[in-house]
Amino acid sequence: MSSSSASPVVRRPFEEDKKFISRMESPRWHIDKGFVENMNVPVKFYANEKIMPAVMDELQQGFLPALKQLGNVASLPGIVGNAIGLPDIHSGYGFAVGSVAAFDASNPRAIVSPGGVGFDINCGVRLLRTNLTLSDVEPVKEQLVQALYDCIPRWGWLGGCRAGESGYPQRGSGEMLLFECLPRVSTFYVQQYGMDWSVREGYSWVEDKYHCEEQGRLLNANASELGTLGAGNHYAEVQVVDEIYDKYAAKQLGLERQGQVCLMMHSGSRGLGHQVATDALQLMCKAAMTRKNPIHLNDPQLSCAPIHSEEGQLYLRSMAAAANFAWVNRSTITFMARQAFSKVFKQDADDLDMHVVYDISHNTAKLEEHLVDGAVKQLLVHRKGRHSSLPAQPPLVASDYQSIGEPVLIGGSMGTCSYVLVGTHTGEKETFSSTCHGAGRVLSRSGSRRKLDYDHVTSELADRGVSMRVASPKLIVEEAPESYKDVTAVVNTCHQAGISSKVVKMRPIASGQGLSSDLPMAVE
């Protein structure tokens, strides 16, 4: 696919590539123009001494490594500042996963690119707190993780479910959409209104929406052009607070004591988002054939359109609708998870203090105001595998978090720790208020299956005291900690750079991952 003619990939020896890379104030790195052809701005990326070897190894061995992809993004028209890579960066479709790029909306040639958002639009993370402690959960841990698995239609893709005697959805035999698990509803309203629909229908508490990025709804959504529905629910994990770094911020978040039990979920709009992205890429390629002023691309996967073109605006409206669906997806999973906790602990979710701490996306493109060369500009900020991290005080941050900054939820790899961070003014200045979103893969899924041993991985999880429900043995290996960078090194890089600040570390005690309409497999 291409919006115009594409340049061949620049091939040069690794030692020559390294000459374009220079160290700035640690852990910052700079890549000069010329690293790839036609760069309009330099590249800036973040990596400490633990992360840098993996980044350079990919540059040396990868077919189209993340750093080269950042250079290609830097060549797109209308880009401002730098093309930015965060420490969990790895190669992706067009744009690297873990990248940020901002385009001047006042520039008629500035573009929007579906590859800069990704196929799972508004894939994101939600964190719920509870007033339970580890000692409350440990005796019923297996019962709880099974109840969550039974209650939530799928850990992976939301699939077949039906009303059961237990009072919440049960697995069915066929593939079904999320909305077949709910009362009859027009999907138009879900995609148009997002969390507002979820609150109205009783699947969310009123206060839930105020602890969501954008209050759980992107405006100007256009649901009428969208295709089939789907969602990705990558995991739901019971965690406990393990360390507190910032007591004041932790108190504001309601995460005040070690051993406090939380629930983290990671899901998105996978099927719907994939359809939106695929349709947009095809439309942009078709439009490019007749465009009077073609857009030069270093990589055909960067297929794009001017922001204010018909196809650019259509993509942004459709993307907003898919994002709204993803927020409803996570709110519906929250509804079901609250039921599961209530059943196991025989208390209402309200009595268990199961409030949403925050819900944040890592695959979006949004119009935002930022300071560029001393002037405030409206920019279309593409974040792919990248969280927003607004500093303290801006009106877009929930009112009860304005003294600490926007919460940032960082999920680790399976069985490893997760973090809560907050945004900073340094991040606002350097990364368009963006920070990392997770650990970042270092092994492909096929590579994980070749190199890792199922029994070894499950033994390690058992040693850590993590109860698991998965769909298949291969998923355990594909999502093993060895498949990812060290999430602590990723988070510490961002903390050291000052682009986000550590608040709380959590560790898992029970996790569900995978997709299957069959009974889950317990990992002993």
pLDDT tier at 155 (50, 70, 90 boundaries)?
Answer: very low
Is residue 273 annotated as involved in ligand binding?
no
Taking residues 140-155, what's their average pLDDT?
81
For 237-282, how does the pLDDT look when each residue is reduced to its tens digit (9 = 90+)?
999 999 999 999 999 999 999 999 999 999 888 678 888 999 999 9
For 200-213, how does the pLDDT look when each residue is reduced to its tens digit (9 = 90+)?
888 888 889 989 88
Cβ neighbors of 172 (< 8 A, separation 6 or more) are: 159, 160, 161, 162, 517
Q: What is the pLDDT of residue 7?
A: 55
Q: Is 477 in contact with 452 (CB distance < 8 Å)?
A: yes
Q: Which of 464, 331, 490 is nearest to 410 (CA)?
A: 490
Is residue 15 annotated as involved in ligand binding?
no
| Domains, the chain | 124-276+307-523 (3.90.1860.10)
Is residue 115 annotated as involved in ligand binding?
no
Q: Which of 90, 355, 387, 437 is catalytic?
A: 437
pLDDT tier at 451 (50, 70, 90 boundaries)?
Answer: confident
Q: What is the 3-state secondary structure (H, E, C) of 225-258?
A: CCCCCCCEEEEEEEEEEEEECCHHHHHHHCCCCC
Residue entry with tokens 């992107």: 218
Is residue 235 annotated as involved in ligand binding?
yes
The mean of the pLDDT values for the chain is 85
pLDDT tier at 337 (50, 70, 90 boundaries)?
Answer: very high
Is residue 363 annotated as involved in ligand binding?
yes
For 382-431, how does the pLDDT look when each residue is reduced to its tens digit (9 = 90+)?
999 999 999 998 788 999 999 999 999 999 877 789 999 999 999 999 99
Is residue 211 annotated as involved in ligand binding?
no
pTM over 0.85: yes
Q: Which of 393, 382, 379, 395 is nearest to 422 (CA)?
A: 393
In the residue annotation, 437 being an active-site residue is answered as yes
Is residue 274 annotated as involved in ligand binding?
no
